[in-house]
Amino acid sequence: MCGVLGCFSKSGSEISKKYFEEINSGLDMLHHRGPDNKSIISSSNNSLLLGHRRLAIIDLTPDSNQPFTKNKNKYLSFNGEIYNYKEIASQFFSKERLRTNSDTEILYEILLKDPELIRYLEGMYAGCFYDGESIHLFRDPLGIKPIYYYEDNELVFFSSSLKVIKELNIASSLSISEVAKCSFILNGHLDQGMTPYNEVHEVKPGSIMSFSPNGKKYSRIIEESYLIFDTTKDNSLSFTEIIDNTVKKHLVSDVPIALMYSAGLDSNLLAKSVSRFSDVNAFSLGFESFKDSPNDEIPLASNIANEEGYKLSYRYLSNNEVLDNTDQYLENLDTLSIDGFNTWMVSKFISEKGFKVAISGAGGDEIFIGYANFVYLKWMKKFIDLIPKFPRYLISKLVPKNDLRNRKISSAINANSLKDLYFIKRSLFDLKLLSNYFDEENIDIIYSKFLKHKTDSIQLLSKENNINVSNLEYHFYCRNQLVKDADWASMSHSLELRIPLVDKVFFKQAVAFRNQNSLRNKFKYYSLYNPTLNSNLFDRSKTGFSVPLLNLIGGSNDYVTNYRALLDEVFFKVTGEKI
């Protein structure tokens, strides 16, 4: 896991020396992403400056430092890990003389040979490859790792960090995107493809964005992630084999790996699987304000860890300790998100214990029917399919509009599709809240653009409603919030966070398994794992790993008041402007 930063001349001309200092300063800002090495190179014609910060995890020798090159005018700088790099080496480069034992060299050879071959990679990655003339910005199909870019008439500036683009004197006159602001207010995060600024963009997941020295740019899609959920392949693997395959793959490392652990099913499923291949180094956080309440997971987590033989480290934080860390958390925010504080805090705890890598159980709810949304959307979809639109309109008029819950119910009754139902259900607020942030005459226009962006970004191809809901849950919640927060929040502490239950091969195998084994919920699926998980995990309701941040920042007992306070605080910290 690392940090990428660079600048490219769209005309192929020499880049001014002043930009070297900017890139150098930017790499200092990225120190937390890679404290083990810092390097900058320039191309032979000085049309490219490419910088890298390294967090050494695979092949710890200097030979694998980046920007990586083997012929002095073709360079690679990327952030992430390729888990199947040894298999790729055997398949495509068995006759090549490789000089390292790293995934970096294999990715370099792939991009040198044929960039289309990145479809064979299994991992999380985003970065830049320079082929001697053009730059190619690339990103994994699930969008686990970010890569942002800004361009003007002369330059393309790209980075793993949105904040670096904003802070340096290369990107000037950034303007707030009203559609992105709408997304943040309604979701608490940004939808895929959005940044807070009109002039800064994300590279689309599963694509390569190329910039040539003649000023031309083009993007090509290598893999569309939503197609992963349309698999019709037969499955021959057991549930246990599917889980163990993805966990074992995510344990590829030359340094020890920690586990973010709780009393939940997901982290215990991973712990059980990890224990087959290595020791389990588990870490949990508790909060003094949750002690002796259902939200305190430490007692059960500790009991299970003792029974299973896991090495568990945990601590309780007081409200004052949470508040003491809030300022630094807000300073580390790299994108608009009201979540991520939990991941940030646990990552800090793990990093302080000397670990560089951890794994998380995020993704399990999305792929194995862990949310109540699955049941709600199933019945609401049947309702709107059964009742014609006009009678539903009349029914909606009977619903009181006195609170958010009822207004969302009324909107759901009028929905036209599963997508509509999902967006209504997942949104934290409705149009009424927008009136506090936009002029009345612009709300409908901005909201329509926001909704079109969401609707156009995905296709639902499965015949199974629950598979389509998994597709929606991954693409609009897990990827846009949980996965994106996992990157910046963990890397704020120089910790690489891996997510075995967010993996393209795993998704395909899990969807194929579900097509053949239609079970009611996550409890039913996880009970198939052999050896069985601790029985206490199945006797409790889902709580999630929560942090008392909303009340602490808002200082009120009113949810809307606290939510708006958090929106205001986050938006100002990220953009420097009031929302």
pLDDT digits (tens, 9 = 90+) for 191-202: 999 999 999 999
Per-residue pLDDT tens over the stretch 211-229: 999 889 999 999 998 888 8
Rg (CA), the chain: 24
Residue 549 pLDDT more than 90?
A: no
Q: For residue 554, what pLDDT band results from cuts at 50, 70 and 90?
A: confident
Residue 156 contacts residue 10 (beta carbons within 8 Å)? yes
What are the pLDDT digits (tens) for 40-88?
999 999 999 999 999 999 999 999 999 999 988 999 999 999 999 999 9
Structure tokens at 307: 């029974």
Could you report the per-residue pLDDT of 120-149, keeping only the tens digit for each?
999 999 999 999 999 999 999 999 999 999
State yes or no: pLDDT of 545 exceeds 60. Answer: no
H helices of 203-297, where? Answer: 239-249, 265-274
Rounded Cα distance between 186 and 562, Å, is: 14
Cis amide prior to 67 (ω within 30 degrees): yes
Mean pLDDT of the chain: 93
The reported pLDDT for the residue numbered 72 is: 81
* Residues pairing with 48 in the sheet: 8
Q: What is the mean pLDDT of residues 542-554?
A: 66
Cβ neighbours around 536 below 10 Å, total: 13
Residue 535 φ then ψ, to 5°: -60, -25
433 pLDDT band, cuts 50/70/90, is: confident
Can you give the pLDDT at residue 548? Answer: 60
- Which tokens in the block code for residue 129? 């490859």
What is the pLDDT at residue 533?
Answer: 95
Residues facing 49 on adjacent strands: 7, 42
pLDDT of residue 542: 64
Within 10 angstroms of residue 382's Cβ, the number of other Cβ atoms is: 11
Query: What is the H or E stretch that residue 352 is in?
Result: helix 341-352
Q: What is the reported pLDDT for 546?
A: 59
Across 403-428, average pLDDT:
94
Residue 185 identity: I
For the stretch 152-185, pLDDT in tens is: 989 999 999 999 999 988 877 899 999 999 999 9
For residues 278-301, give the mean pLDDT: 91
* Per-residue model confidence as pLDDT tens digits over 368-384: 999 999 999 999 999 99
Q: What is the pLDDT of residue 461?
A: 86
Over 80: is that where the pLDDT of 486 sits?
A: yes
pLDDT at residue 547, rounded to an integer: 63
Residues 479 and 503: their CA atoms lie apart, in Å, by 11
| 486, HSE (Cβ side, Cα atoms, 13 Å) | 27
What average pLDDT does the segment 236-263 reach?
97
